[in-house]
């Protein structure tokens, strides 16, 4: 069922549904969406008329908050932590601290161009506990990505050692015996869906959490993520205005209670609309232009 149709079943007029979507009153998996054209399961949708006004896809969303832990949905384009560059003061940690009026401690980060779930600690004990889970690789972290190219199989995994400079100025893997400073990186991939002739949707499950790990593993396999200006290709980036990588699942043990917690964030509107567009193009290809034939010259 389309989201707009579901909102009509809830009694909203077209104008009311449009306003609710645009002002962040419609939640999917606990995250506001403005994409009324997406297919949904009605039980996953919440209409929250009293929710604070925000712009879905642009504004940060606090998904969970307690005395020890905060889980957020970070929009693409926002830094995770402060950085010493232009706009570096506009970051998720700083914004959450402002919204909660309390100190926030970093646990991990996701790339500026990546959207999705990210956790933070509210005290030092919680921070140490959550970081220990990351070091033991017990945190469940799953991403979805749109890639250019054909996956090698339904399921596959990549394990290698990453260095800061693989020889071309970029992070990446090295052949042969890894140097002492290299860090082991393992990602498990699953092919989810074919989106178009050259585009596929995959899931990446992290067993380690190295910088740019998923982006590097997919790029070096010849299947770069759409919109990846660092590791991608012109063909993969054509007509795409964001890095199509999204942190969709975060599973942890609560640092105080020990409770198993698992969060799922909906696909961002920008990626959802891009997938619909690509599917439409694949189903309705433009007709090939017929080559014009030059008139034959008649001999006199």
Q: Give the N- to C-terminal CA distance of the chain in Å, as an integer.
A: 69
Q: How far apart are CA 54 and CA 273, in angstroms?
A: 20
Active-site residue flag, 228 = no
CA distances from 225 to 81, 87, 196, 222, 242 (A): 23, 25, 14, 10, 10
Element housing 203 (H / E): strand 199-206
Torsion of CA 208, 211, 233, 244, to 10 degrees: 70
Q: Provide the 3-class DSSP secondary structure of residue 168.
A: coil
Max Cα-Cα span within the chain: 97
Q: Provide the 3-class DSSP secondary structure of residue 28.
A: strand
Q: Which tokens belong to 62?
A: 């606090």
Choosing from 35, 111, 228, 269, the catalytic residue is 111
All residues at 6 or more sequence positions from 74 whose CB lies less than 8 Å from its CB, including other chains: 60, 80, 92, 110, 114, 115, 116, 117, 118, 247
Is the dihedral angle over the CA atoms 79, 85, 90, 91 positive or is it negative? Answer: positive
Q: How far apart are CA 189 and CA 2, in angstroms?
A: 29
List the Cα angle 287/297/292 in 5-degree steps.
10
Q: What is the DSSP letter of 2?
A: B
Active site residues: 111
């Amino acid at each position: 069922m389309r989201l707009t149709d579901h909102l009509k079943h809830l009694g909203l007029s077209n104008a009311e549904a449009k306003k609710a979507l645009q002002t962040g009153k419609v939640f999917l998996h606990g995250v506001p969406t403005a994409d009324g054209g997406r297919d949904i399961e009605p039980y996953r949708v919440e209409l929250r008329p009293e929710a604070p006004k925000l712009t879905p896809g642009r504004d940060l969303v606090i998904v969970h908050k307690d005395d020890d832990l905060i889980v957020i949905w970070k929009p693409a384009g926002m830094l995770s932590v402060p950085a010493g560059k232009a706009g570096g003061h506009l970051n998720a940690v700083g914004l959450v601290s402002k919204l909660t009026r309390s100190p926030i401690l970093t646990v991990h980060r996701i790339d500026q161009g990546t959207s999705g779930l990210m956790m933070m600690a509210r005290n030092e004990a919680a921070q140490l506990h959550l970081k220990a889970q990351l070091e033991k690789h017990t945190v469940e972290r799953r991403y979805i990505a749109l890639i250019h190219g054909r996956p090698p199989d339904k399921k596959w995994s990549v394990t290698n050692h990453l260095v800061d400079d693989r020889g071309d100025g970029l992070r990446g893997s090295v052949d042969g015996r890894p140097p002492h400073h290299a860090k082991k990186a393992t990602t498990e991939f699953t092919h989810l869906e074919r989106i178009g002739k050259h585009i596929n949707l995959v899931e990446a499950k992290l067993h380690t959490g190295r910088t740019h790990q998923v982006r590097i593993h997919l790029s070096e396999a010849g299947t770069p993520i759409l919109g990846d200006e660092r590791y991608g290709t012109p063909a993969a980036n054509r007509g795409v205005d964001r890095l199509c990588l999204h942190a969709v699942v975060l599973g942890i043990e609560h640092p105080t209670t020990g409770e198993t917690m698992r969060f799922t964030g909906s696909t961002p509107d920008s990626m959802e609309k891009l997938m619909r567009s690509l599917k439409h193009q694949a189903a309705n290809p433009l007709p090939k232009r017929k080559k014009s034939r030059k008139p034959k010259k008649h001999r006199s």
